[in-house]
Amino acid sequence: MSKTSRTGIIAPANAKKDSIIEIRAIAQHDMETGFRYTEDGKRIPRDIIRLFTCRYNNEEVFRADFYSGIGANPLVIFNTIAITSGTIECRWTGDNGYEAVNQVNITVS
């Protein structure tokens, strides 16, 4: 996977306290399964994102283990409760030392 992979998160900038907000996270990644072969019969080694974590003010609110069954350019849409103003941080970790972090700020009123 190229080092120029892009990742992003979409979360509301403002939210009411104790309301449920939706977070969308996407990463640009081939998610090479390790089950494919080239034309000359060589197996293409696996290269996937294995772990996705979301921390809200440094507290883990959501985590997912990925296997090769997740499609290329993985997208996850999940929910969390807006508690206090702060940062939402999403981290992707994978094979071959892949790591990407995204942060967004949220104001809770």
Partner 1 sequence: MNSFKVHPPNLSRRLYLSALGVLGLSSSLTPLSALGTKPEAMEAIAKIVGSNTLKDGRVKLVIPPLVESGNLVVLKVAIQSPMTNVDYVKAIHIISEANPSPNIFTAYFTPHSGRAELTTRVRLADSQRVWAIAQMSDGSYWQDYADTLVTLSACTEMI
| Contacting positions for partner 1 (CB under 8 A) | 20-21, 33, 35-39, 44, 56, 59-81, 83
Residue placing its CB nearer to partner 1 in the complex, 84 or 105: 84
Q: In which residue are the tokens 């390790």 written?
A: 34
Nearer residue to partner 1 within complex by CB, 77 or 101: 77
Q: Which is nearer to partner 1, 44 or 101 (CB)?
A: 44
CB of 16 to partner 1, least distance (A): 13
CA atoms of 82 and 16, how far apart (whole Å): 7
Phi, psi of 71 (to 5 degrees): -70, 165
How far apart are CB 97 and partner 1 at their closest, in Å? Answer: 21
Could you tell me the smallest distance in angstroms from the CB atom of residue 23 to partner 1?
Answer: 10
**To the nearest whole angstrom, how small is the minimum distance from the Cβ of residue 84 to partner 1?**
11
Residues with Cβ within 8 Å of residue 70, at least 6 apart in sequence: 31, 48, 49
> What does each C-alpha distance from 105 to 9, 56, 88 come to in angstroms?
11, 10, 6
- When the beta carbons of 67 and 96 are compared against partner 1, the nearer one is 67
Give CA–CA dist 77/83, Å, rounded.
19
